Each structure stands twice: as structure tokens, then as C-alpha cells.
Structure 1
Amino acid sequence: MLLDHVVQLARCTAAGDAVTDSFISLLRDASDDHETLVAWNGAADSELSAARVDSLRRLRRGLAAGTKDLDGQVMHLQAPDCRTTSVRWGSLSPRDWREDGLGVELPAVHFQLKHLEQTMYLEVAVVDERGEVMIVRCSTFQTAPELLPSTEAHPRLLHFPLLFPLSDSSVPLLTSWCTITLPLRSLLLSLTPPVKLKCVVGVAVHATCRLRRVWFSEEDAPAEVDEALLLRGGMPELALFAAVEGQAGE
């Protein structure tokens, strides 16, 4: 049921060459087992299995010792080049957002992520009151906020650094999992001139990281999934949620 739900709602893309470290799978966070491949380079699973297990083992050795894992299934995205491997809901394209976009009007988006101390980034495509698309990107390779103008090939880009707690800090980390919240309405209104958010049309997460949840809410709502929403039939993993009564996002 979980895999069917992910395939129906998301576009999962992995590098198409023979790089065995580029793949997306569903697996147990604590043990890396019970794995189901979602996207890979097209080679037979038997050819990739040993290399994938070895690469997962190497990633785990690089994490802070003693941090707790989740006892459940999550999505693992991995690639040497983060541009090649991603999961996406809706559209990030200025050309087809009207047909394929999410159309979510809630102004805050939340990501429950596990930082694997690798390069990664998030992208959210928004549409303003004039019908123009802007990409809000948060990446581990950006050093300062930057607003880039649109070009013929790309929409306007608002780029932020994505910072995670350091594993070697003086305060020990309990877990590598955290919640990233983007208050989109506030971010756009802080620009000069201010931009008024109309809706969100696309969300993407790029390797390398682990993803458990993505959901939307009002800006003043708690940055957690509404448990009552889950009891009404919402999937608890890897889905888009609205943390307000009666509005479940796709």
C-alpha cells in the first residue's frame, strides 16, 4: 500500500548511468533492511544489491555515533551528484504548473528529514498573484541568501542555505532527524518589492538524505502532522499533508 501510494503521487528520478550509488528506495531507517527499490539506473536488482548494501553501510559509518534512528520505513535518496536523484510532487516548471501543479494554498511547508552529512537540497515552486512561478530552494551548498532573476530557461530563484546541527558540536545529538519548515508567505513578503503567495505548485527533495514526511499548514499551526488527520485515513509516511481540518493535500 505504501509503495503504491508513493508511485502514484510522486515522480522519483535517479541517475540513468551505471553509477550504483544513485538510487531511491524505501527501507527501515534503523536497520537499512526490508528495502524496496523505487528508482535506480535500470540495471537488474541483483547486480546492484551488493554495491547498494555496501554504500549504505559506508554512509552509516559516517554518521555521529549514538544517534537514534526511527523504527519504521522511510524513503532513502542517494547519489554522488544531488542534481540527478530526487522525488517530486507536482510541477516546478513555469510551462505546465497549471496542468500538473499541486495548487496548495496553505502558506507553510514542512519536511521531516534525516541529514546524512551529504550534499542535498529542497525545492518548492510557488506562484504569485500575477501568475508567475518562483522557485524557493534550500541547499547545503549555499552560503548566503540570494535572489536570482528569471531567465528564458529558468524562473526566478530564491536560494537559502540549509543548515543542520553539527554532529561534532558540544551538545550531543539525540537523532539526525529534524523538521525543516519554510514559512513561504512570510519569506515572499520580506522581498523588495514584496511578493504575495497564491499557491504552491511543486515540491522536490534531492539526494542525499532520508525523508519521512512532507506536509502543509497555516503558518501559525504547529509544525507536526495532525494525528486526527491520520486517523481519518491519511498515510503516515511519505505523503503531503495539510495540518488543518478537512484539507488533506495530495
Structure 2
Amino acid sequence: MFLFIIFGVVLYALAYVGLLLMARHARKDESSIPIGAFIGTIATSWALSLGFVAADIWTLNAQADREVSAERSAIIRLIGNADVDVLNKPELAQALEVYRDNVIRDEWGKNHNLFPAESVEETLQDIRIIIMEIARSDAPAVIVSQTVGIFDDLQEARNTRLAIASTMIDQYKWYMLLTLTVLTAIAIVAVHADRVRAGMRALALYVLTATVSIWILTIHASPYSGVEQIQPDALQLNVDRL
């Protein structure tokens, strides 16, 4: 937040200097002042740019929520298939608990889901071997096929989780947003060149709005970090309840 306060102060200070310079020029040539409606041409573009970035962020966060639910569901279903009344494979349930612990500790905790953890890869291989042993046994083909499908769902959910964490909002959208933020401030200065006090108030309101808006976007930019980050508690609680 401190960096955004600095950003807002610097933006206001530069815009204020520009306002004073334009006010001096406006006293010499009043016809050079744009009409008030001119602000809308740039401010609308700024608002649209803000909306584009926000839409990408909310979409990414919603997808991250879905993938956590999918991974949790796959773990629960596999543990259900490992039950004594189905496949009677307690080692499969134990391996899934190890997978859960490694994901929470290493992949989610240490790596912030930015790259795979070796411990999780090894656990997945252990689960894969157990499922292959089940496939070679006299277990019902339907249950075996279902277990293989659920394991594929688990791997897909994990891969998507890692992909989401490493996916960033296109940097050019951020560049466009910051550029239009500055240009909108310049437009406000231009149309208030003959009313310095009103221009100061307009700039203060705009800089506050722009700074808070961009700050809110940045703290939500990554689903697995920041104030509203997704926690791995769902994986922890659901497995322990079984």
C-alpha cells in the first residue's frame, strides 16, 4: 500500500505542476482551454482499460477456485474408492494424505504454486504405481476404470492450478492502464487551466480513485497471494473428515 501512496502523491504533484503551468498559459490565451467534455474522451478509455484488467483478474480467480474444488473432489473420490468396501487399498488413502500434505507444505506453502514440487511429483508416482497394481488385480473393471479417470482428474486439476499461478495478466494491459491514468490526469489539468482551485479538487478526487482502484486490482492479481488469496484449507479439512 505504501508504494501506491507514493504513486498517488507523485501523480498529484506532477499534475499540480502541470495545472499551474497551463493556468499561466491560459491567462495569455483563453481560447486554448479545451471544453469540459474533452475529459470524457480519455477518461472513458481509462475506465474501459480498468474494466479489462479487472475482468481478467476476476476470471483468473474464479478459475482458481474451481480448480481447487476439482482437486479436492478428486482426492475425496479416490479415498472413497480406496475404502475397505470398494478396493480395500489403505495404502492408496495413505498416499493421498501424503500428497495432500506435500501440496500444502511444499507446492502451496514454499513454492506458492509457481512451480511443481519434487515431493508432490514423487507422491503422484507412488499413487500411479498403486493404481497400476489395482489394475493388474482382480478388482472390478468398472471400479478400476473409474479410479484411473479420477486420478487423471486429480493430475489435471493440479496442472491447471500450477498454470494459473504462473499466468500473469498481460503486461501490456497494465502499461495501457497506467498510461491512460496519467493521460486522464493531464486531461483534467487541461480543462481546468482557468480554474486552478477547481482543478486541484478534481485532481485530488481522481488521483484518490485511480490509486485505490489500481491497488485493489494488484492485491487480487494473483489467486494464491495477497489479501484475498485462496487458502489450501479445503484440501486439509476434507481429507481429515474422511
Q: TM-score, normalised by structure 2?
A: 0.20
Q: Choose between structure 1 and 2: higher strand proportion.
A: 1
Q: Choose between structure 1 and 2: higher helix proportion.
A: 2
| Structure with more relative contact order (C-alpha pairs < 8 Å, separation 6 or more) | 2
Q: TM-score, normalised by structure 1?
A: 0.19
